[in-house]
Amino acid sequence: MSTVASSSTVITSELPTVEEVKGWSREGVRNFLREKKGILDLDDNDIGRIYIQKIKGSNFLDFIAADFERWGIPGGPAKEIEKLISQIQGVQENIYVNADLTVLI
């Protein structure tokens, strides 16, 4: 079994929770994308395009690759953002599953 992660895999402990993301301003989303731009293959212009769409944390998690592409983000980075959003949402789901299991034990 390989222990090498793909370049698009982010260690889940480094990801914010859904609730944290929902509390972000536009600047919070921009700062997060800047932190992850190497993994996402974004440049500053791409991040600027997202920023001018007035994306706050409360709606960032609702977007898919096609939305980002429509704003001029290339397909590869758009898909990477979509995967990252799924990972953030998956972390939240895992928290709930683990909490439920703890209650059952």
Alpha helices in the chain (DSSP H): 18-22, 26-35, 37-40, 44-52, 57-60, 65-70, 75-104
Per the document, the length of the chain is 105
Residue 67 and residue 85: Cα distance in Å, rounded? Answer: 13
- CA dist 74 and 16 (Å) reads 24
- Domain 15-104 fold is DNA polymerase; domain 1 (1.10.150)
Domain ranges, ordered by start, for the chain: 15-104
Q: pLDDT tens-digit profile of 8-28?
A: 455 556 899 999 999 999 999
Tens-digit pLDDT profile for residues 45-92: 999 999 999 999 999 999 999 999 999 999 999 999 999 999 999 965
